Chains A and B, each alone.
Chain A
Amino acid sequence: MINYIWSGMILISVFFAALNGRMAQLSEAVFTGCNQSVQICLTIAGAMCLWGGLMRIADKAGLTGAIGKVLGPFIRFLFPGLDPKGPAARAISMNISANLLGLGNAATPFGLEAMKHLQKENPLQTTASNHMVTFVVLNSASLQIIPTTIAVLRARHGSKSPMDIMPAVWIASLSALVVGITLALILNHHKAKLKNEKNGDALQAAAGKA
């Protein structure tokens, strides 16, 4: 997908620049673009390192584990039928805590581990189980407590209080999470029901034939 978007953006740019007679600006943009990207990287790098360091301390001091405990009931609700003390539930809770703390690096390995454990309990190996759908939707909502990268970008452009967007970010991402999870759980339930009905029909048909 990113292949199409990237190539699309560049090809469309060249096309539009030709159309608008802005080829000179376009050539200039190529160089300002790649120069700027290095500047942005350098600006973000500081915060990434500082945050990575602080979060490593928090992690080793037991914060990730503590958050995991708080998340217990939440996980039991979202993944009905999953052993709450099993390896899958543990990996899921570590994944969520790492995401909350903005440890994207640590979150992905836990996420993949959780997927592997969920796959072991998955009866249809190439089709996603209900738990998998819920888990991936959970991960596609951003649950970061402190959006570091964005705050740094805001500071870079002279924001008076780069962090003041945090409450709004919490509201927006929580709403997104609730919407996504609700939809996933409803569809999980709905589709499971459909499947049972179909099986029921098949059974009746078989009974009719007999």
Chain B
Amino acid sequence: MNVIGSYALPLMIAGIILLGLFRTENMFNLFLDGATDGLKTMIKIIPSLIGLITAVEMFKASGALDVMTGSLTPVANFLHIPRDVIPIAIIRPVSSGGAIAMLDKILATVGPDSMSGRIASVMCGSCETTVYTTTVYYGAVGVSKIRHTLIAAFTADFAAMIMSSVACGFIFS
């Protein structure tokens, strides 16, 4: 399974380049356009990342993170999730910037190739910011009664958390 992971990116890039070579005319210009767009997105999220990463850093330095993680350890044990990744599980559905900040912190502490580091990464990659998506999509069309949307979406997030841990346990041990 590990092999798939290391092959996927180079093969995908090669595939895209081949496709572009045959089916587009100004491939490099397209690349530049897309890259500029990526930069624009980046500039849009920098302010929120600065705010959130500073908050995460403060939260950790004050000892509050240890208290929160400690108090949720029984729940995590029950769900077979390592305690180091609890902060990710909490913040991921709410804020993607916050999750990036938290993941950076966790990877620095436990190392990216440790089991907890991998589970934290997978959690970050397998969930979307549910709260943001719901607000933006319904807000755009003026729907206020969203019925069972959040129940279904949060259950999905919960499943992603559990399955991140299960899948990593299955693949990496």
Contacts and interface: CB of A to CB of B under 8 A. Distances in A.
Interface of A: 1-2, 5-6, 9-10, 12-17, 19-20, 22, 25-26, 28-30, 32-34, 36-38, 40-41, 44-45, 48-63, 104-105, 108, 111-112, 115-116, 118-119, 122, 124-128, 132-133, 135-137, 139-142, 144-147, 149-151, 153-169, 171-173, 175-177, 179-181, 183-184, 187-188, 191
Identify which of B23, B124, B141, B167 gathers the most chain A CB atoms within 10 Å of its CB.
B141
A5 B93 CA distance: 12
Interface in B34-72: 34-42, 45-46, 49-64, 67
A150 B100 CA distance: 8
Nearest to A29: B61
Contacts of A51: 38
Contacts of A63: 16, 19
Contacts of A177: 156
A57 B100 contact: no
Interface of B: 1-2, 4-6, 8-9, 12-13, 16-17, 19-20, 22-24, 27, 30-42, 45-46, 49-64, 67, 91, 93-95, 98, 100-101, 103-104, 107-108, 111-113, 117-118, 121-131, 133-134, 136-138, 140-149, 151-153, 155-157, 159-160, 163-164, 167-168, 171-172
Given A34-B53, A40-B104, A172 B160 contact: yes
Given A56-B37, A159-B107, A175-B160, 20 more contacts: A2-B131, A29-B62, A30-B54, A38-B50, A40-B49, A40-B104, A52-B38, A62-B23, A133-B149, A153-B100, A153-B112, A154-B112, A158-B112, A164-B2, A165-B5, A171-B163, A179-B156, A183-B151, A183-B156, A187-B147
Contact of B152 (A55, A159, A180): A180
A169 B127 CA distance: 9
B107 A153 contact: yes
Contacts of A119: 141-143
Nearest to B122: A168
A58 B19 contact: yes
B156 to A, nearest CB: 3
